[in-house]
Structure 1
Amino acid sequence: MEKVNLEDKFKQFNDYWSPKIVGDLGKYQIKLAKFHDQFVWYHHNNEDEFFLIIKGSVTIHLKENNQEKQYELKEGEFFIVPKGVEHMPVANGVAEVLLFEPATTLNTGNVKDEKTVSNLKRI
């Protein structure tokens, strides 16, 4: 058991879109990531995804029933993307984000590209 200071953890890395594991809760992991600009469109077949904005702001773009929706998230707000829903986070500048998701969750979901991180670092 140990206390975790999010500000200290965010200071330990500068790369974008590469989540870092900061805790485990059963079969779930608590991850931190820095977002910058636009990510990729993707979905998770089996996992829901929780985004909590710690610093900055992020727009979550969703494609659902052939319509695109956008949700603007500010500091202290969170959003849960249900499994199977195609989405794309876009940071307005740089954002610091806490992710809470099953340990099996791949950052790019069904997409494999240069932003895919298969082996997450623990900090």
Structure 2
Amino acid sequence: MMTGPVNIQKTLDSFSELWSPRIVAQFNGYDVRVAKFHGEYLWHSHQDTDELFIVAAGRLLIHLREDGVERFVTLHQGDTYVVPRGIEHKPESDDESHIIMVEPTGTLTVGDTHEDIPDHVDATTGHHVG
């Protein structure tokens, strides 16, 4: 359990791995995670939970697929978006973006249902800071 303040920028500065979230806070059964995104992730979904994305820096494109229909949302610095539970999604970023995510503790980054996991993706429930 973290007992003091955690600086998000210092945490982001402490690692270089992409798609590999760090847990900066936990509360009421939820993780607050920060990650660096660049390139494409993979299509996946979380059957039992929504996923909150907050763009701290950069730009994020989230592809969404529901009932065979694909669309996307574009998020800029300061924007937030919730991907509803069960919706297939694939984050993508043309340049390095810094993302804050909030989801239940223990949620796997690649979801419950996903395509083959590429080598550049860290399938994890998050890495603790410190």
Same fold (TM over 0.5): yes
CA displacement 1:57-76 (0-9 Å, x = unmatched)? 00010011321111000000
How many pairs align?
123
Tell me, yes or no, if the aligned pair for 1:29 and 1:103 is still in contact at 8 Å: yes
- Cα deviation, residue 116, structure 1: 4.1
Residue in 1 that maps onto 2:86: 84
Tell me the amino acid that sits aligned with residue 26 of structure 2.
Answer: D
The corresponding residue for 2:54 is 52
Partner in structure 1 of residue 101 of structure 2: 99
Taking structure 1 as the reference length, the TM-score comes to 0.93
SS in 2 for 1:8: helix
Instruction: Specify the code of the residue in structure 2 equivalent to 1:107.
Output: T
The match for 2:70 among 68, 73, 91 is 68
Q: Give the percent of matched residue pairs that are identical in Structure 1 and Structure 2.
A: 30
Does structure 2 retain, via aligned residues, the 8 Å contact 1:21–1:29?
yes
Partner of 1:13: 15
Structure 2: 5+ residue stretches without partners: none
Q: CA 1:95 to 1:30, structure 2 compared with 1: closer, same or farther past 3 Å?
A: same
Q: Which residue does the alignment assign to 1:121?
A: 127
Corresponding residue to 1:40 among 39, 42, 57: 42
Post-superposition Cα deviations, 1:1-47, rounded to whole Å, max 9, x if no partner, equal 32222111110111001111111011100001100111000001111
d(CA) in 1 for partners of 2:61, 2:78: 14
